[in-house]
Amino acid sequence: MTGCFAALSEARPHRNTQNSRAITGYISTHVERRTCNQRPTSPSNTLYLSHHSVQATKMYAYLLLAAVAVFFVFTFVLHPLYAYLSDPKHLRRYPNFHPLSGITNIPFMVEATRGFRSKALREQHKKCPVIRIGPNSLSYGTGRAIKDIYGHGSGCIKGELYEVLAGTHFHITDVIDKYEHQRKRKAVSAAFALKNMENWEYKVADKTERFIRACDKACTPPLKKEMTRPNPEDLTFDYRSYTNFFSIDAIADIALSEHLHLLDKGTDIVQAERMDGSKFQVNFRDCLHGTARAQSIIVWASQWFKFNKWFTRLVSPEFRRLWKLNDGWEALVYNRATERLKRYQNGEKLSDIFQAFMEDRDGNPRGLEWGEIVAEVSILMNAGSDTTGIAMCNVMYWLLKHPDCMTRLREEVDAVLDADEVVAPYDKVKHLPYLRACLDETLRISPSTSFGLPRRTPAEGAYILGDFIPGDTTVAISAYVAHRDEEIFPDPDKFIPDRWLGEKGKDLQPFFIAFSAGARGCIGRNISYLEQTVLLASVVHRYEFALPHPDWEQTWLEALNAMPGKMPLKVWRRDLSNREV
């Protein structure tokens, strides 16, 4: 059809030419008039419209900012202030940690950034047994409150802090539901039982032997008697790092039958794995401690945890670094869980805690979800390595600061070990009273977990130290504070292992919460004592150690745990006659 119209046009090019011109002129005239009537946009009109658009945008922005301001003022000022003044739970009867603690958790969070919150808390508890540390939180400063908060008969349960720190699945430590916790604990209780320590002793002995190899390499000539401080170049052994390498290697073997060889390599670099399967290298301790540091600061405001995590990552370079380390921690846990699950699925029957989680005693699968497996691996590698490594470092520090205690311990150990024994057999040293007293006194004066583990009072409320505390109130006792209760532990700032000997030591046990207490006490307590006992007996029997100088002081950085800094030591072999290497 288009071709026909074109042909007709070409065949009659001049037909009705005048009419066409007339029509064309008429249309052009009317188009021009219509265009004029529409008042074409001039530069001034464009500016006029642009100005109004900007004004409208500004108006909406101001309204949004006003709404945000109203929200923040109501949420963070008016509502907390009203709750404080109305005081429905009667918590104003307790003195505040900070003048603003009755209104906001921020002062307690800020104190965490200073490095040792429990020490500041202890100073205040010298004046008051109960302190309000947040709008809905109380801290207790006496060990006599332990039974009411953590004891077997207590109705207090774990609360929001554990919920927000949990991932998609709860592990045995952060699970809140009582019956779910019983299920998990029952599944692995045999693996942690005292009677089954021989199942793990050979793994601990192997790590002790590797630790000793590292010590042998670092040995220097004996310190001359007239010298009070070693030469700086002789401080060749960082005891803090190597005790942590020991505890990481040990729990990786005990829990997962994995050999990380950190003691052999002298480094904590391990493999991590992202969800997409890509792998990379991370520093185990940096990832773990960075995670703990970031979490411990913001977790006290549990209801704002996710927002605070996002906000701190957005605005703070330091928090960005810490949260990146948290990503590394999750990736290294994912890799540990993935690799161990592959071995399980390939039919390997291994003697470790992972096997106990996966199957009952009859070999029947427990049917755990993948998320739960990852969660359990995470807590095993976290709590199973960090607290024990801290305790091992701390006990050596306190013994070196008290040479008389070290001498007494050596005499006790030497009496049961042969001169040529390199690794102390657990059966020979597990009942040595002074050795155990040194371990317990270290855990008292420098508890690995110093942070007050929070509990929530039941809905009906609870009596603590004879006072009624309304329901859904957070209560806690810092082990660092409770272990310095002068009524229970005289001279609390002095290292006195003798306080744990005999009947008086038994009387102190109810007030000892280095492993928490009650039904939620640390399930890995026996394994921790196994590792500490064998390593300490072995090294004090074989070596002499010296601090940089007699007045040298250890420092600690508190997150959820109180992490000691580097501890460079001079190490040399003891002069034991008839000793065979």
Binding region for heme: 522
> Distance of CA 44 to CAs 32, 39, 49, 51, 314, Å?
22, 12, 9, 10, 42
Phi–psi pair at 138, nearest 5 degrees: -125, 140
Q: Please report which residue ranges of 74-159 form alpha helices under DSSP H.
A: 79-86, 106-113, 117-125, 146-150
In whole angstroms, what is the distance from residue 326 CA to residue 337 CA?
17
Query: CA–CA separation, 119 vs 211, rounded Å?
Result: 32
Nearest Cα neighbor of 447 from 504, 403, 498, 492 is: 492
Sort strands 474-477 and 137-140 into parallel, antiparallel or unpaired: parallel
Q: Which phi and psi angles does 556 have, rounded to 5°?
A: -130, 145
CA dihedral 464, 469, 474, 478 (to 10 degrees): -30
Enumerate the known binding-site residues.
Answer: 522
Token pair of 346 as six digits: 């390939």
155 to each of 301, 390, 444, 509, how far by Cα in Å?
23, 31, 26, 21
d(CA 118, CA 477): 10
Query: Nearest to residue 211, comparing CAs of 232, 254, 255, 241?
Result: 241
Report the alpha-carbon distance of residue 59 to residue 48 in Å, rounded.
17
Angle (deg, nearest 10), helices 284-298 and 106-113: 150
